[in-house]
Amino acid sequence: MIFEIILTIALCLLMLAIMANVYRVIKGPSSADRVQALDSIGINLIASIAIFSVLLHTHAFFDLILLIGILSFIGTVAFARFIERGVVIERKQ
Amino acid sequence: MITFYIFIFLPFLFAFLVPFLYKYLNRQVHTGWFVLFVPLSIFIYLVEYIPAVASGATFEYTLSWIPSFGIDITSYMDGLSLLFGLLITGVGSLVIIYSIYYMSKVREALHNFYIYLLMFMGAMLGLVFSDHLLVLYGFWELTSVSSFLLIAYWYERKGSRQGALKALLITVLGGFGMLAGFIMLIMMGDTFSIREIIANMDAIQGHALFIPALLCILLGAFTKSAQFPFGIWLPDAMEAPTPVSSYLHSATMVKAGIYLVARMTPIFGGSAVWFWLVAGIGLVTLLYGSLTALRQTDLKALLAYSTISQLGLIMSLLGIGSLAVYFGPGETGTVFTVATFAAVFHLFNHSTFKGSLFMVVGIIDHETGRRDIRYLGGLMQVMPITFTIALIGGFSMAGLPPFNGFLSKEMFFAAVNDVSHAGIFGLNKIGMLFPIIAWVASIFTFVYCMIFIFKTFGGAYRPERLTREVHEAPLGMLISPIILGLLVILIFFFPNVLGEYILIPALTAILPGMPISGHDVKISAWHGLNTELIMTIGVVVIGLLLFRTARRWIQVMRNYPQGLTLNHFYNQGLSGMEKRSASLTDRYMTGSLRHYLIYIFSFFVLLLMSSLLLLHGIQIDFSNNAAISIYEVGLVIAMIIAAFTVLLASNRILAIVSLSVLGYMVSMFFVIFRAPDLALTQMVVETVTTVLFLLCFYHLPKMTKKIERIPFKLTNLVISVAVGLTVTLLALSANGHKLFEPITSFFENAYELAGAKNIVNAILVDFRGFDTMLEISVLTIAGLGVYILVHQRVKRRGQREIK
């Protein structure tokens, strides 16, 4: 029972963290800040899903955790390339 | 039976042969000689029926067409249809003989001409022999179409095309009206057959649809028969070759409306509306046509207006004759039976003399190159035979003895005199107008007939005004008008032969149930010095005076303002309609997608909201809802913030990032609501979409890539709020009302049924694999589409393809 309450509190805190990140996404000021915030949201989502899986006693969401890890990495790299070079995928020369 | 149908459909069947005959044999023989065989054989076939029909027999044949809908080609032959059948094929044969000499073998596309003419002939025959209302309508429209084709025979001329279009628009308008009337009639009588409707008239008489059906059917009849104010197409149809004008626009097609009125007289006759419309409009047309004919300088236009006027005469006689249905058998009824008889008689006479007059005009046109009376004159010495025929036809049209027009005009005067003291339908007040209008119109008729004859053939001969060396027409061209002219005289001297064998059976068909004895409708040229004769003498005297002084007043007539003619109103109406609809379309079809979305969303909101409110659909029930936990609230708040950020973002990068935040939140919701597969897919798709958005963003043109937020528009705000509200209300109302148990329990047996532990995947590939297959196709199409868009660029002018 207490365990569940702790988990729920943790979830709520993660929610707060996500909200804070959303604030950063909106506020900016530069694109890099926003991309960072987005990356951070992804990591927070991983954590929330993990806690949630414990709460639900299921391992159905483990794939998702891995996937978010990969996607968040790819997404951040794509954004970074975009900000730096203006293109995501370069043509073969 | 089969012989009958072969003969009726012979024109259609033969039309298939015409192109071959034209292609392979036109060098040797004029195609018309082959075509002549068709109407002639039908004529001879129909003549064989005369004795039987004259003795009161009728014939009925049925050819099954769509039996499951009760649509059969039911043919019915009584006196009326036989009269029309004989006119169509008889005049048709003469017109074809005439056309053989009129239409050049070398210069004209004869196969087109004869195919259209045969098509028309077949349609007309089908029309008069049809007993089935819908089949009648079918043939009716076929006459409109073939007439359209024939008017525009010289399609490279602008006038022909315009005339054809006008004729088609007006007659098809009437045709549609008539179809509506027929359908109402079918509903009232519960049968397709005209005779069965006549047989149980009691069901129809008091029916609410009686008057609408009457009006609609009369619209069809009036447009086809060029009655006021629908007659304006007929003068423009004079752009057709003269044989066509002679055949369609004097003898046959324009009488289809007369036929319809005569056919429908047993059903509608006897009602005041029918009497006033048919007789009244007929008289107005008679006067209008004769007055307007005076103004014409083109001979064909003059004849066209005279046709309108004469058709008005026949129509008004039919209207007066319909009183016989009102009075029923008896002495008064018999008086009006004579009016109907006069109508049929004049119908026949008009076909003879007007056919010959048109042919005369064709000869004049052919031999002098002119059709305008201001250039013509003095042709009497040069073309004596043509002049004789014109004299016979013209005097007959004017109503002079010893020609058949005299007899029918006398009977017309007798009828209008009788109706003036009939004392019903308010006739006791304005009944006196009937003879007066008829008399005045007859005077004008007399005057234009004189103009027609003597301005063309009288006066001095001035060859310098004519474009060709004038001489008498070849004999072949004269055969048909001579035959018609002879008929005009023969009918005057032996009218009762025609009356007994053809006209009285037709009369019996129009007025069934009226005892008709040969004595009542005996035609005699001389029956004492009565009112009618005095009226005719008055017509001749005043008409001659007017003709003598024509030079003084005719210019006044010709100066009648163009702006007040019916044609002007028609043209104004047509161009006005085009302009109005163009401006209306321009007003709402702006080409702006925003406007179209506004229409779509407004209608969406309007329809759903009004139905929700009107049907008391808004019932929100929270009792079955699950509890809301606190992190869900947090997620929702985060989503709302992200959504608003998309709307209010000051640059596009922010909007894209916020959109992907929104997408990730949605996938989080899928997690909370225990949908791992969805969450996975949503995550991937969201990422890919974001990358695609970035790609689009990068390719925005530099010039217009202004960094600014979405401009505020009040309409957009109102509509978007309304749409959101509507959908929310709808979802909440729907949520509280589960009408039956969901079928989820079935899918829960996925393991037993499909051997799968994952229900979602089992549904996707097993239970409902069909959807998945099609979605795969959608993705394939999208992928191919993108590939094609990127690689297959259409080359612009002066720009090379970019690989």
Dihedral angle computed from the Cα positions of residues B269, B130, B251 and B36, in that order, rounded to the nearest 10 degrees = -170
SS (HEC) of B605-634: HHHHHHHHHHCCCCCCCCCCCCCCCHHHHH
* CA gap B119, B96 in Å, rounded: 14
B232/B162 Cα distance (integer angstroms): 12
A63 contacts in chain B (CB < 8 Å): 676, 680
For chain B, the structural domain boundaries read 1-173+228-256, 269-548, 593-739, 742-803
CB distance A79–B634 less than 8 Å?
Answer: no
Search chain B and give the residue with CA nearest A27: B654
Q: What are B197-231's pLDDT values in tens digits?
A: 888 887 788 788 889 999 999 999 999 999 988 88
Q: Give me the residues of B, 694-713, that contact A with CB < 8 A.
A: 694-695, 698
A82 reaches B (C-beta below 8 A)? yes
To the nearest whole angstrom, how far is the Cα of A3 from the nearest Cα of chain B? 17
Q: Which residues of B touch A34 (CB under 8 A)?
A: 653-654, 657
Quick check: A60 and B661 CB within 8 A? Answer: no
User: In sequence order, which residues have a C-beta less than 8 Å from that of residue B411 and are 6 or more positions away?
Assistant: B338, B339, B341, B342, B345, B346, B523
Q: Distance, in angstroms, between B799 CA and closest chain A CA?
A: 22
Q: For residue A36, which residues of chain B lie inside 8 Å, CB to CB?
A: none
CB B361 within 8 A of CB B300: yes
Residue-by-residue DSSP string for B67-108: GGGTEEEEEEE-HHHHHHHHHHHHHHHHHHHHHHHHS-TTTS
pLDDT value at position A87? Answer: 67
Q: Which pLDDT score is estimated for B526? A: 62
* Continuous segment of H or E residues that includes residue B66: strand B59-66
Smallest Cβ distance to B631: which of A15, A56, A68? A15
> How many residue pairs bridge chain A and chain B with CB atoms within 8 Å of each other?
94
- Rounded distance, CA B609 to CA B616, Å? 10
Exposed (0-12), middle (13-18) or buried (19+): which is B754, by Cβ within 10 Å? middle
CA of A54 vs chain B CAs: smallest distance (Å): 12
Scanning every residue of chain B, which has its alpha carbon at the shortest distance from the alpha carbon of A85? B698
Q: What top-level class would CATH report for the domain B593-739?
A: mainly alpha
- Check CB contact under 8 Å for A86 and B698: yes
CA atoms within 13 A on the CB side of A65: 15
Q: What pLDDT, on a 0 to 100 scale, did the predictor assign at position B184?
A: 92
| Sign of the dihedral through C-alpha A18, A20, A26, A30 | negative
C-alpha B204/C-alpha B424 separation (Å) is 22
Whether B660 sits inside 8 A of A64 (CB atoms) is: no
User: How far apart, in whole angstroms, are the C-alpha atoms of residue B86 and residue B77?
Assistant: 12
CB contacts, 8 Å: A82 with chain B: 694, 698
Task: Provide the CB-side half-sphere exposure for B491 (13 A, CA).
Answer: 30
pLDDT score of A64? 86
- Asked if A6 is an interface residue toward chain B (Cβ–Cβ < 8 A), one would say no
Distance of CA B84 to the CA centre of its chain: 22
Q: How far apart are CA B197 and CA B208, in angstroms?
A: 16
Decide if A8 and B630 are in contact by the 8 Å CB cutoff: yes
Closest-CA distance, B602 to chain A, in angstroms, reads 32
pLDDT in tens, A9-38: 898 898 889 888 888 887 778 888 888 888
What are B689-693's contacts with CB under 8 Å, separation 24+? B689/B659, B689/B660, B689/B663, B690/A75, B690/B656, B690/B657, B690/B659, B690/B660, B690/B663, B691/A75, B691/A78, B691/A88, B693/B656, B693/B659
Dihedral sign, CA of B91, B96, B102, B107?
Answer: positive
pTM above 0.95, yes or no: no
Name the amino acid, one letter, at B209.
L
| Interface probe, candidates B636, B683, B759, chain A, greatest A C-beta count within 10 A | B683
The secondary structure of B559-594 as a DSSP string is TS-GGGSHHHHHHHHHHHHHHHHHHHHHHH--S-HH
Q: pLDDT at position B799, please?
A: 55
Asked if the Cβ–Cβ distance from A56 to B674 is below 8 Å, we say yes
* Pairwise CB contact (< 8 Å): A22 & B642: yes
- What's the CA gap between B399 and B415, in Å, rounded? 15
- Coil, helix or strand at residue B46: helix
Q: Is-cis flag, bond preceding A29, omega within 30?
A: yes
CB proximity list for B484: less than 8 A, separation 6 or greater: B94, B352, B353, B355, B356, B359, B389, B393
**CB-based burial label for B477 (10 Å; 0-12, 13-18, 19+):** buried
CB interface of A with B, residues 29-68, below 8 Å: 31, 34-35, 38, 41-42, 45, 48-49, 52, 56, 58, 60-61, 63-64, 67-68
**pLDDT value at position B803?**
43
End-to-end CA distance of chain B: 74
Contact B151, B237 (CB under 8 A): yes
Q: CB A71 to CB B641 under 8 A? A: no
Please list, in sequence order, all residues whose beta carbon lies within 8 angstroms of the beta carbon of residue B232, skipping any fewer than 6 positions away: B166, B170, B566, B567, B570
Q: pLDDT at position B781, please?
A: 96
User: Which residues are CB-neighbours of B698 under 8 A, at least 6 positions away?
Assistant: A82, A86, A87
Residues of chain A contacting residue B683, judged by C-beta atoms under 8 Å apart: 64, 67-68, 71
Q: Does B671 touch chain A (CB under 8 A)?
A: yes
pLDDT for B517 equals 66
**Residue entry with tokens 């009040």:** B714
Closest by CA to B532, choosing from B665, B431, B434, B439, is: B439
Chain A closest CA to B630's CA: distance in Å?
Answer: 7
Contact of B361 with B393, CB cutoff 8 Å: no
Q: Among B262, B372, B373, B244, which residue's Cα sits nearest to residue B311? A: B262
Query: Among B645, B661, B691, whose Cβ lies nearest the Cβ of A41?
Result: B661
Task: Assign B4 to helix, strand or coil.
Answer: helix
Residues of B within 8 A of A78 (CB-CB) are 691, 694
Strand partners, B440: none
Residues of chain B with pLDDT under 50: 802-803
- Residues from chain A contacting residue B674 (CB–CB below 8 Å): 56, 58, 60
A31, A41, A44, best to mutate vs chain B, most B CBs in 10 Å: A41
Yes or no, beta carbons of B630 and A88 under 8 Å apart: no
Kindly tell me if the per-residue pLDDT of A5 is higher than 50: yes
**Contact: B631, A12; criterion CB under 8 Å:** yes
